[in-house]
Amino acid sequence: MANKTKDRKGSIIDVQPLRSSEEISEFRDALKVAGKTARGDFSNRNLLLFNIGVNTGLRIGDIVQLRIEDVKGKSKMKISEGKTKKVRTVELGAIMGDIADYLEDEPNEGYLFPSRSGEKPITTTQAYRILTKASDLIGRNDIGTHTLRKTFGYHYYRLNKDVATLMEIFNHSDQATTKRYIGIREDEIAASLKDFRI
């Protein structure tokens, strides 16, 4: 099931979205701290990886494959999603400033998130490690690469209440799957039972 994944120790975890602006802010702060290592400061890279994920709903496999020329100075881009091969237009207007700041001293082409060699992008495993290192700092064990996509979906739904469009963005087969994936169904059930008493 999409809500379950294995952590670094092989235990099954229930990956969740970041449901509040406070949780998102706390996680961004953790990414900044976790990005400062003995090998260098990767906090800006880690923050942009996160910001692209939570603002576009792209899968992590598609995010790590992005190239500078795909996003630099652009308010939108077309992408052929790796898993579904579906062509999708992705809006970047809200994060153009983040992208411009990150690329200020970078070349005009190449991978947006290059590996140390620069010839390939970081892997999805490396992206997972970036996220879980930050989640460890704030004592959370329900964060994974799907957290970014789920956070996008959760907040998109909360703002627009448009599950049909979100279902299309995620390429899900039905609305119930989409609501379950983003954790909204859980919230709805909890809310319906909050004051329930017989």
As a whole-number percent, the residues of the chain with pLDDT over 70 amount to 94
Q: Which of 45, 149, 150, 155 is catalytic?
A: 149
Highest mean predicted confidence (pLDDT) among 34-43, 98-107, 114-123, 130-139? 130-139
Is the pLDDT reported for residue 7 higher than 80?
no
Q: Is the pLDDT of residue 97 over 90?
A: yes
Does 155 participate in catalysis according to the annotation?
no
- Asked about 146 being catalytic, the answer comes back as yes
What is this structure's pTM? Answer: 0.89
Q: Would you state the pLDDT for residue 129?
A: 96
Q: Tell me which of 194 and 69 has the higher pLDDT.
A: 69
Q: Are 42 and 49 in contact (CB under 8 A)?
A: no
Catalytic residue status for 181: yes
Q: How confident is the model at residue 192 (pLDDT cuts 50, 70, 90)?
A: confident
pLDDT, position 4: 59
The pLDDT tens digits of the residues spanning 149-169 come to 999 999 999 999 999 999 999
Residue 193's pLDDT is what?
A: 83
Catalytic (active site) residue 149: yes
Burial of 89 (0-12, 13-18, 19+ CB in 10 A): exposed
Given 45, 72, 140, 146, the catalytic residue = 146
pLDDT of residue 10: 62
- Classify residue 123 as exposed, middle or buried by CB count within 10 Å of its CB (0-12, 13-18, 19+): middle
Rounded Cα gap, residues 81 and 58, in angstroms: 8
What is the C-alpha to C-alpha distance for residues 26 and 114, in angstroms, rounded to an integer? 26
pLDDT for residue 171 is more than 50: yes
Average pLDDT, the chain: 91
Which CATH number does the domain 4-193 belong to among 1.20.1340.10, 3.40.50.170, 1.10.10.10, 1.10.443.10?
A: 1.10.443.10
Which one is catalytic: 83, 161, 194, 197?
83
Catalytic residue among 59, 72, 140, 155: 59
Bridge partners (DSSP) listed for residue 40: 37
